[in-house]
Amino acid sequence: MKTTRIISILLFYFVRIIAFLYGLTTVYVAIVTIFKTNALRILEQNRFAVCYPFTDKNFILGSAYTFHYITEMLVTLAFYSLFFFGLSNVFQTFKQTKLFTARGVFHLKFFYITNLLMAPIIFSCISINPTEDFPYFAMIVGHAIIGIFAFFIAAIFQQGLHLQTDQDLII
């Protein structure tokens, strides 16, 4: 269990940093595109680039400088920020000394709901009138598989929590 805990600690911090960076990117792109700051460059054929802060180096390239495309980009970035935050909470659950806790079950439920409900809704809405040619159906299926796996783990943790609580009452 010590190896599992070490890996969980490393993955928790790594994935939490990724979630933070996705969230920061979402906020940065929103500010740059809404307020049309100097970091926004309009390119040929109505494409655009968001530059790194305080530089002229491209950070994110956009295919179409339209409200629809920018909204699609921001929603996707925000979703993946939430996804990675939920995943980091799952790793946080596995790094605890007491494995079956109500908080751990909550984190697992949040993660499977994010994957089973939010991902299909978001990607289905985006795929109705897509600007990019992304494999939205494959993304939905991938998140559904992750969500089902997380659902089973949550059920196991719920049962473990129940048995652990019963054991504490007996002792």
Helices vs. strands in the chain: H and E counts, helices first: 5, 3
Return the residue matching tokens 């935050």.
Answer: 85
Which carries the bigger pLDDT value, residue 4 or residue 48? Answer: 48
Q: pLDDT for 36-80, tens place per residue?
A: 999 999 999 999 999 999 999 999 999 999 999 999 999 999 999
Q: pLDDT for 98-130, tens place per residue?
A: 889 999 999 999 999 999 999 999 999 988 887
Rounded to whole angstroms, the Cα distance separating 99 from 103 reads 10
Q: For the chain, what's the residue count? A: 171
Q: Does the pLDDT of residue 92 top 50, yes or no?
A: yes
Rounded to whole angstroms, the Cα distance separating 17 from 4 reads 20
What percent of the chain has a predicted confidence (pLDDT) above 90?
Answer: 82
Domain housing 10 = 2-170
The answer to whether residues 148 and 116 touch, using CB atoms and an 8 Å cutoff, is: yes
Mean residue pLDDT across the chain: 93
The average pLDDT across 157-162 equals 93
Structure-block tokens of residue 76: 């996707």
In this prediction, residue 80 carries a pLDDT of 98
Q: Does the pLDDT of residue 169 top 60, yes or no?
A: no
Rounded to whole angstroms, the Cα distance separating 107 from 154 reads 9
- What DSSP string runs through 57-82? SEEEEES--SHHHHHHHHHHHHHHHH
What's the number of domains the chain is made of? 1
Listed ranges 13-17, 69-73, 164-168; the one with the highest mean pLDDT: 13-17
The average pLDDT across 152-169 equals 87
DSSP 62: E
